[in-house]
Amino acid sequence: MKMLSLMILILSTNFMFMQHPLSMGSILLILTILSCLLSSLMLNSYLLSYILFLVFIGGMLVLFMYMASIASNEKFYFSMKLLSMNVMLMLILMFLNMNFSFITCLLNDMNNYYEWFNYMMNKLYSFPYGNLSLMMMIYLLFTMIVIVNIVSLKMAPLRSSYVQTMSSNSSIN
């Protein structure tokens, strides 16, 4: 669990140095997988981490669609300096964390994590916050229905309607 947290921290700092949308998307995908693995280790149920993964992937698909319609085709260059720095940092952290009693300490501390996270999850769906969660779900459903209706009225991708709007505005001027 400690290594997953360190990997998430390293990838989050690497995200700031990325300039290409493809590399940013790949780091977001890896961060999504690692955070879902970390949450599944902390909770008794894998269902919440699975739902979290599906929501993140859905959001990333929307981002990918947006970037594909807006960004031009740029060459993707892989930085060997950044890769070697990451590999060296991960190896150093792995050797520093090699504690054979770590597994026993982890198993002893997991019970405390389970109790704390179960308490927090129960608070999320209890009386005052349950209504807020339900309202957020209804709002997201309503927003999705409105966006689908807007896109289906045009019967075209968003970029083509944007280009047609810009060309009609330029012909007016």
Nearest to 9 by CA among 96, 90, 68: 90
Given pLDDT bands bounded at 50, 70 and 90, which one contains residue 37? confident
Give the span between the Cα atoms of 138 and 144, in whole angstroms. 10
Coil, strand or helix: which one is 68? helix
To the nearest whole number, what is the mean pLDDT of the chain? 73
This prediction has a pTM of 0.54
> Domain residue spans in the chain?
2-124, 128-173
Give the span between the Cα atoms of 113 and 108, in whole angstroms. 10
Given pLDDT bands bounded at 50, 70 and 90, which one contains residue 104? low
Mean pLDDT for 31-54 is 82
Q: Indicate whether 98 pLDDT > 80.
A: no
CA angle at residue 45 from 59 to 9, to 5 degrees?
A: 55
Distance from CA of residue 12 to its chain's centroid?
A: 11
Distances (CA, A) of 164 to 157, 158, 160, 167, 171: 11, 10, 6, 5, 11
Q: Which residue has the higher pLDDT, 72 or 34?
A: 34
Unique residue bearing structure tokens 């005052």: 128
Given pLDDT bands bounded at 50, 70 and 90, which one contains residue 47? confident
